[in-house]
Structure 1
Amino acid sequence: MAVCARLCGVGPSRGCRRRQQRRDPAETAAADSEPDTDLEEERIEAGAAELGSEWSGRSSSPSPPPRCSLLELPPELLVEIFASLPGTDLPSLAQVCTKFCRILHNDTIWRRRCREVLHRYRHILGLWQPDIGPYGGLLNVVVDGLFIIGWMYLPPHDPHVDDPMRFKPLFRIHLMERKSATVECMYGHRGPHNGHIQIVKKDEFSTKCNQTEHHRMSGGRQEEFRTWLREEWGRTLEDIFHEHMQELILMKFIYTSQYDNCLTYRRIYLPPSHPDDLIRPGLFKGTYGSHGLEIVMLSFHGKHARVTKITGDPNIPAGQQTVEIDLMHRIQLPNVENLCNFNELSRIVLEAQEQVRQEQQQQQEGRTEDSEGSGPPTEVREPGNEGAAALKEEPVQFVLPVGVSSRNENYPRTCRMCFYGTGLIAGHGFTSPERTPGVFILFDEDRFGFIWLELKSFSLYSRVQATFRNADAPSPQAFEEMLKNIQSLTS
């Protein structure tokens, strides 16, 4: 605490030591005792006042310069000072007072710590997609105190699409002395154990567990499998034996074998937003029939919106563009009585599909004529201010047509806008992929749906409300390049 006393400007104060002695480590780490902080500041002010009185009585001597403690410095200057200190001094510094503790939670300090102290891990913060066969995933790497932690984000249990995301730690890097760090694998049920991280390049890194025996459970594979079912699906083996057995076995063995060996992660960015976007882009949780809930990314690209899979399944792998919405072709749904008739909805959608086909053909012919020098170029229409328009739209009643299946019957009963779109379907192993017509339904700012016409199936999507830092694309071009890269991995 001598360091703390010097930094506070109070000298070898016994008050600081007494306060340290009467707290246990958990209380000290919290550093949220404001009464003690006020008392310490009063002592500092009192000391300064005594010195002022003493000097004022010495009229023959010049007045000394005013005394200033670290507590009086502006926060931005304290950030610069604290960022230059050794990492092992920061926990003690956080115990001095609430102000210091609050400043030490500033991301600027820890980002600089990653750059200067742990230079080889400076590119690891942000969002990543693990290369796990067709299943993909979402990893968020953040700084938490003296650790860099990799959190794997998982969808809620099927079919509760509006529930918050689940997450668990996969690895952590313990920030120790300058230029020193310990990597630990967090997978399994036996606690942290020795691991390794290799930075392949700026937007790619890999992890490896050096003690895979920590992943094993005492009851063997059967206990591991049942535990995994409870954690990942929220159900017992007996509940879903007949419905998902073959798929679950495949997923389990792929999942465990990947974490027993080296696993590669590739950076992903959150989509950029624009005021004219239909709704705010971002990550959503969606229902996919027997595949349960998956994580997707909604992004806007001029006349179209795209839904890209961040997690996938044996039919459509992660990275693929699962839904495409044509923002130039809005669909007016019939009234609720007629909407219940699936044939009526099918007729409306197929008419929109034919209109899109004719327009694409005309555009193609126009480009051909223009290349031959006969005729002006084809006019390209841009979407209007859909974002503002969607907020002004009065909600209309919505109900699923009879015969359309849905994993979640708790879908919204009103919607604001509908557009023509196409959905990607394929056989097992991404065989014979094709795009089929469907309807994109905008319910509100945080939920949308898609009716797969050919499958007679409905998918409901709900926004991921978690906040992700260090995940913004440096430019729109970088985001587009990222989408191409993750899609090419599974093509």
Structure 2
Amino acid sequence: MAVCARLCGVGQAGGCRRRAPVEEEEEEVRGEEAPRSLLQLPPEILVEIFSCLPGTQLPLLALVCRKFRHILSTDTIWRRRCKTEYGVHENLRKLEVTGVSCREVYVKLLHQYRDILGLWQPDLGPYGGLLNVVVDGFFIIGWMYLPPHDPYVDQPMRLKPVFRIHLMEKKTATVECMYGPKGPHNGQIQMVKKGEFCTKCLQTDYHRMSGGRQEEFRTWLRDDLGRTLDDIFHEHMQELILMKFIYICQYDNCLTYRRIYHPPSRPDDLIKPGFFKGTYGSHGLEIIMLSFHGTIAKATKITGDPNVPAGQPTLEIDLTRPVRLPAMEQLRNFSELSRVILEIRDQISREERLADGAEEAKSSRAESSQVPPPLVRQEERPADRPETSENGERQPQEVQSFVLPEEVMARNEDYPRSCRICFYSTGLIAGHGFSSPERTPGLFILFDESRFGFIWLELKSFSLYSRMTDRFQNSQPPSLEAFDEMLQAMQQWTT
């Protein structure tokens, strides 16, 4: 009751300190005294007041008195909470046909499964993935995001429903598995712990096709890769077994999902951070996440391959090492570009050796004088900060002409012929099974706000990345520290 009193302006003595405009008008017209108790307010006023409260507080109001409990049975209150808290913009009156109330939708569906809304990464070994759980009308649906067919990196993502939850009756919510050619069927969802849940299909026979496993696998290859088995057999024979393993895991077994966040944005970021899809040679298109960390930008794999698994930092961009591209004719020569990049790598090595020597000398002097050396974070040094104007906006860079060196292989020749800025970077390469991983030098090329590229110097290959334009709700990290902890945890999930 004290909570209600504070919200409505009712003091301990029961006097109303603030009256609604409607009450003031009625008092002037009728000459009657305004209600001096919350219980004396008209029901329609209480409905408006209760509609503004979070749904999690409404059950407490129902315990105050019988009148509150009766008013809280009004569907108008719960209809507004469904719209305000979960973005349900459907005509909720359609629920009257099924006999399900807005209160039941809020309590038994939206509130009960609120913890699984947002972005998740499935535990599929090195392959990973991106699942977005959203409120879609009167359903909660888990959409799996698949990259476009290789090599069309600028095309939109392909979405497949993994599960859906809805109210079939008043008693409880129904979970349905969406895999297979036979339509939705029974499934389960269970929260394992905070930031982790699992799904399980209860009718895996619904996943079977009449043509057997071979037909199922061919259909999966055609739908997910846009190619036939004959097209890729000779090129990827060793990977077909692993691809079939993914297929079987997705369709037959319980899957675990771990929460991931959209990267936070800062005013001085090079471009807006987010999710991109990019080309990875024979592995096709993969999803990565671009994030900024002071003077370093990282591209972390959301989906991976047998060489470099999901969760690993595939690219690290040194924002303090801009690269001025050589003239166009020289740029066509791979040896010239390689010389420029390797000179920067050697310079970094020399600086690191000098810094290590200076740090050792400083440490020796500090030990002798017993005065601790000052701590200076790299991102706080003025020379390392991005160039910005007085109002804090990044200064536009001069547009440079760009062309790939003739020896560099690209799966997609439809790349921009001009760029804004380039940086020295490193890319992560490894053998099959993530054996002998190492960071090798390369060139990061920023084309525009939505596209960037990377030249793998050692591999003599080019990856083109294009921004995912999907809007993700319930995906912002609670803090910068939480996002950094998630990145560290992602590297451990697949290794």
> For residue 385 of structure 1, what is the aligned residue in structure 2?
386
CA contact (8 A) 2:442 2:454 kept: yes
> For residue 27 of structure 1, what is the aligned residue in structure 2?
none
CA contact (8 A) 2:75 2:103 kept: no
Cα displacement string for residues 257-301 of structure 1 (whole angstroms, at most 9, x for unaligned residues): 343111110000011111101111110001000000000000111
Residues 1:217 and 2:209 are matched in the alignment: yes
> For residue 191 of structure 1, what is the aligned residue in structure 2?
183
CA contact (8 A) 2:221 2:229 kept: yes
Partners in 2 of 1:186 and 1:322 — Cα distance?
32
AA in 2 matched with 1:214: Y
Question: Is the alpha carbon distance of 1:142 and 1:294 closer, same or farther for their aligned partners in structure 2, counting shifts above 3 Å?
Answer: same
Question: Is the alpha carbon distance of 1:282 and 1:179 closer, same or farther for their aligned partners in structure 2, counting shifts above 3 Å?
Answer: farther
Residues 1:226 and 2:230 are matched in the alignment: no
Among 331, 337, 344, the residue aligned to 2:323: 331
> For residue 269 of structure 1, what is the aligned residue in structure 2?
261
Q: How does 1:152-163 map to 2 (within 5 A)?
A: 152-163=144-155
Cα displacement string for residues 420-464 of structure 1 (whole angstroms, at most 9, x for unaligned residues): 011000011111111100001110111111100000000011101
Partners in 2 of 1:378 and 1:174 — Cα distance?
55
Deviation at 1:224, TM superposition (A): 0.8
> For residue 316 of structure 1, what is the aligned residue in structure 2?
308
- The TM-score with structure 1 as length reference comes to 0.78
CA contact (8 A) 1:367 1:377 kept: no
Question: Is the alpha carbon distance of 1:442 and 1:387 closer, same or farther for their aligned partners in structure 2, counting shifts above 3 Å?
Answer: farther
Residues 1:165 and 2:189 are matched in the alignment: no
Q: How does 1:338-417 map to 2 (within 5 A)?
A: 338-374=330-366, 380=378, 381-382=381-382, 383-386=384-387, 392-417=396-421
Among 454, 460, 464, the residue aligned to 1:456: 460
Tell me how many residue pairs correspond in the alignment.
424
Gap runs ≥5 in structure 1: 1-55, 86-91, 95-99
Question: Is the alpha carbon distance of 1:284 and 1:123 closer, same or farther for their aligned partners in structure 2, counting shifts above 3 Å?
Answer: same
Question: Is the alpha carbon distance of 1:215 and 1:349 closer, same or farther for their aligned partners in structure 2, counting shifts above 3 Å?
Answer: same
> For residue 23 of structure 2, what is the aligned residue in structure 1?
none
CA contact (8 A) 1:404 1:458 kept: yes
Cα displacement string for residues 129-149 of structure 1 (whole angstroms, at most 9, x for unaligned residues): 000010000000011122211
Partners in 1 of 2:264 and 2:55 — Cα distance?
33
Question: Is the alpha carbon distance of 1:204 and 1:103 closer, same or farther for their aligned partners in structure 2, counting shifts above 3 Å?
Answer: closer
Question: Is the alpha carbon distance of 1:106 and 1:166 closer, same or farther for their aligned partners in structure 2, counting shifts above 3 Å?
Answer: farther
Question: Is the alpha carbon distance of 1:149 and 1:70 closer, same or farther for their aligned partners in structure 2, counting shifts above 3 Å?
Answer: farther
Q: How does 1:125-204 map to 2 (within 5 A)?
A: 125-175=117-167, 180-204=172-196
Question: Is the alpha carbon distance of 1:326 and 1:337 closer, same or farther for their aligned partners in structure 2, counting shifts above 3 Å?
Answer: same
Cα displacement string for residues 337-357 of structure 1 (whole angstroms, at most 9, x for unaligned residues): 110000000000000001111
Residues 1:278 and 2:279 are matched in the alignment: no
384-393 vs 182-191, greater mean Cα deviation: 384-393
Residues 1:117 and 2:101 are matched in the alignment: no
Among 483, 488, 492, the residue aligned to 1:484: 488
Deviation at 1:243, TM superposition (A): 1.9
Cα displacement string for residues 114-168 of structure 1 (whole angstroms, at most 9, x for unaligned residues): 8843555331110000000100000000111222111100111100101011111
Say what the alpha-carbon RMSD is for the aligned residues.
Answer: 3.5
- The TM-score with structure 2 as length reference comes to 0.77
Partners in 1 of 2:413 and 2:307 — Cα distance?
24
User: Residue 117 of structure 1: SS of its match in structure 2?
Assistant: helix
Query: How many percent of aligned residue pairs carry the same amino acid?
Result: 63
Partners in 1 of 2:444 and 2:249 — Cα distance?
38
Residues 1:433 and 2:441 are matched in the alignment: no
Question: Is the alpha carbon distance of 1:281 and 1:109 closer, same or farther for their aligned partners in structure 2, counting shifts above 3 Å?
Answer: closer
Deviation at 1:229, TM superposition (A): 1.4
